[in-house]
Structure 1
Amino acid sequence: MFRRRSRRAIRIVPLLMAALLLASCAVPGTGEDRPVTLTYWSWTSGSQELADRFNATHDHIRVTFEKVPAGTAGGYSKMFNAVKAGKAPDVVAVEYPQLPGFVTQQVLQPLDPYGVTDLGDQYPDWAWRQVALGGQVYGLPMNIGPTVMFYRTDLFAEYGLTPPTTWEEFRTTAETVAAEHPGVTLTNFGTNDAALLAGLAWQAGARWFDSGSGHWQVDATDEAGARFAGYWESLVDDGLVTARPTFAEQHVTQLQQGTSLTVLAAPWTAANIQRFAPDLAGRWGAAPLPAWPEGPASGNYGGSSLAVPRGADHPEEAMEFIRWVSTSPDAVEAVAQVNTSYPANTTLTDHWGTAIEAANPYVAGMDLPAAAGAAARTVNPAWEWGPDMTEGFARLVDEATAWIGRPEGIRTALARWQDATVDQLRQRGFTVPE
């Protein structure tokens, strides 16, 4: 009996030792050393690539990417509902126009406790102002959209044109194109994109919103706004540019057939041009927007920040992921082939230029890094977004679609939008002076 018990004990001891060894080895995904899992919601191209690269280079945090609809197409509603239901993801992408709405409705938590303020000097002042609201920082800029002009280098050369450097030259060039090449126009003025409309107004010196007095002031028809609107109305009325939805079927046909020679947009738009006109590789260049008499300037068109919703389970780890996305050259390289967005972080711009040209033959030779860099340095920092641009942009698209193409159509659309915006803000309890 004694020997049988001894043999049994001998068999059991190695099993116990093996179990103890396994428990002490920090096997990934088990035990106390299991990596923290973050949920990341976005719709922007390259998001999955960012998560994959981060996971490949970090052991203690794992990021799970979940694609949501574009923000204004339902993604933002999904985020709001998740926070209200106590099921917030850890990281969300929020565009700059919509960030104030997230803050006023208490959807996001400030990032100041997690060291974000130490990063402020790595971003253009105007970009940092987009995320620093009410004395606290609610997001870290990921990319920005300084507005530039893409143009057909081959057709410009064939027609003897040079990229216009002023808006006066732009009109003269448009007149030359219309007179000498019937059926061809210099550009299309998009009627379906409120963010681009805002970017062009921003570049002209307009200020749609101002909260500096402690109350919201709304003015889309000030002197600069009227100048911007009147200029484009004259081009549309005189048939020097088309006015139709950007990248809708007719516009895509124009680009493919070379009957629209430029696209006024942001660096990220290069990926859209590639998507809709893949056969035109090597035929596009990029230049800064034409200037108003005051000198070179740009507005911002698009771009996103990364933020942490209230109720997120792992804010410290979320901040580590956000910091990596916004400051790491590795993150730039991860998305270079699929996303041409310009990084907000000024320490990454040279690396970005090299990376996108190496990863994407369509962009190579376009001079996009130089044009985007020049534009980013001249964005007017005075621009401010209102407290509910998700609804505001939807309303502006409705007005633009209804009015652009009619006499004084852009000015009418902006005036109607301004009045409706003031009414809506007052209904929500905001004080808006007459």
Structure 2
Amino acid sequence: MKLSARIAAPVAALVLAGLTATACAPQTSDTSAKGDEKSGTLRVWLFQEVGNKPKEKVVDDAVAAFEKSHKGAKVEVEYIPVDTRAQRIKAAFNDPKSAPDLVEYGNSDTAGYVKDGGLADVTEEFGAWEEAKDTDPIAKQSVTVGDKVYGAPFFVGVRALYYRTDVFKDLGIQPPKSQAELVSTAKKIHKAKPDLYGLAV
């Protein structure tokens, strides 16, 4: 599908169906859409997760709903390995025939991908998205460059845990080294100090 700068229907519909991603910059491929750009093939790249089946179920349902409400449109989903995603995505920016129309990516890559000319400005589409009002402001900021929005954040992950050294020292406990120890340590802290959450994310 050849996407123009105005991609409200495909992007908004995918977002509302639960398949949130960002649009790649306009490319020309062998599966160009018709004049109304509501038909043709929409190519989507998503990360291949460990234990991907639950994700695939959600995506399959979203695709079915999208295709049902957009006659003549077909969605092709490809799951790409996380460890080689950067090379694959950057290579696609220079190869229209292999480039996706929508891609899942880490928001820390936004600025670089925009600089490379790989992402489309979806500010208008994001503003028209009914659920945009529920987006965390910091998450939205992470997909914004200048005053333009280049994606729709759909989850926030935890990459690090911090602990209060004063609490651990006071209770005479050591930082946990496993998930099981994390749970038991959190319970100990909350039991000893009911006014504190043992773990907060």
Matched, 1:84 2:81: no
Give, as a single letter, the amino acid of the residue that structure 1 aligns with 2:74: R
Give, as a single letter, the amino acid of the residue that structure 2 aligns with 1:105: D
| Contact 1:117–1:137 (Cα < 8 Å) also in 2 | no
Structure 2: how far apart are the matches of 1:102 and 1:95? 10
Larger radius of gyration: 1
Matches within 5 A, 1:347-358: none
Residue of structure 2 equivalent to 1:176: 173
Query: Cα deviation per residue 1:98-142 (whole Å; 9 max; x = unaligned)?
Result: 1111112211111124x2124443212111110111110011111
| Contact 2:120–2:150 (Cα < 8 Å) also in 1 | yes
For normalisation by structure 2, the TM-score amounts to 0.58
Residue of structure 2 equivalent to 1:103: 114
Query: Cα deviation per residue 1:45-98 (whole Å; 9 max; x = unaligned)?
Result: 44422331013323124322211110xx21121111112012211111111111
Structure 1 window deviating more from structure 2 (61-70 vs 81-90): it is 61-70
Matches within 5 A, 1:34-433: 36-43=40-47, 44=49, 45=52, 46-58=54-66, 59=68, 60=70, 61-70=73-82, 73-87=83-97, 88-113=99-124, 115-119=125-129, 120-146=132-158, 166-173=164-171, 175-177=172-174, 186-188=175-177, 261-262=181-182, 371=200, 375=201
Give, as a single letter, the amino acid of the residue that structure 1 aligns with 2:106: E
Give, as a single letter, the amino acid of the residue that structure 1 aligns with 2:64: A
Q: Which blocks of at least 5 consecutive residues in structure 1 are unaligned?
A: 1-31, 150-163, 178-185, 189-253, 263-282, 288-295, 297-367, 376-434
Same amino acid, percent of matched pairs: 21
Q: How many residues align?
A: 145
More helix by share: 1
Structure 2: how far apart are the matches of 1:63 and 1:171? 55
Structure 1: how far apart are the matches of 2:113 and 2:151? 11
Name the SS for the 1:67 alignment partner. Answer: strand
Q: Which blocks of at least 5 consecutive residues in structure 2 are unaligned?
A: 1-33, 188-195
Distance 1:89 1:170, change over 3 A: same
Distance 1:51 1:176, change over 3 A: closer
Distance 1:176 1:79, change over 3 A: closer
Give, as a single letter, the amino acid of the residue that structure 1 aligns with 2:151: G
Structure 1: how far apart are the matches of 2:81 and 2:85? 5
For normalisation by structure 1, the TM-score amounts to 0.29
Give, as a single letter, the amino acid of the residue that structure 2 aligns with 1:41: W
